[in-house]
Amino acid sequence: MRTRFAPSPNGPLHLGHAYAAMVAHDTARARGGAFILRIEDIDGKRSRAEFVDEFLLDLAWLGLEWDGDAVFQSHRLSSFAAAGERLKAMGLLYPCTCTRAEIAAAATIYGPDGPIYPGTCRHRPVAPDNAAWRLDVGRAMALTGPLEWIDEVAGSQAATPEIFGDVVLLRKDLPASYHLAATLDDATDGVTLVTRGMDLFPASHVHRLLQALLGLPVPTWLHHPLLVEADGRKLAKRRGAPSLAGRRRAGENGLAIADALRAGALPAGLSFSQGVHHAA
Ligand code: GLU
Ligand code: ZN
Nearest CA to ligand 1 atom 9: 182
Pocket of ligand 1 (CB under 6 A): 6-8, 40, 182, 196, 200
Task: State how many domains the chain has.
Answer: 1
CATH number at 65 reads 3.40.50.620
Mutate to test the pocket of ligand 1, among 40, 201, 221 (most ligand atoms within 8 A of CB): 40
pTM: 0.95
Neighbours of ion ligand 2 (CB under 5 A): 96, 98, 120-121
Is 20 contained in some domain? yes
The domain containing residue 99 runs over which residues? 2-273
Q: Does any domain span residue 177?
A: yes
Distance CA 244, CA 254 (A): 9
Does some domain include residue 249? yes
* Domain presence at residue 192: yes
- Measured from the alpha carbon of residue 196, the closest ligand is 1
Structural domain includes residue 279: no
Q: How many CB atoms lie within 10 A of CB 198?
A: 21
**Going residue by residue through the chain (280 aa), what tens digit of pLDDT does each one get?**
999 999 999 999 999 999 999 999 999 999 999 999 999 999 988 999 999 999 999 999 999 999 999 999 999 999 999 999 999 999 999 999 999 999 999 999 999 989 999 999 998 889 889 999 999 999 999 999 999 999 999 999 999 999 999 999 999 999 999 999 999 999 999 999 999 999 999 999 999 999 999 999 999 999 999 999 888 888 877 777 899 999 999 999 999 999 999 999 998 889 999 875 444 3
Q: Is residue 131 part of a domain?
A: yes
CA distance 204 to 112: 12
Judge whether 232 lies within some domain.
Answer: yes
**Phi/psi at 213 (nearest 5 deg)?**
-65, -35
Q: Is residue 142 part of a domain?
A: yes
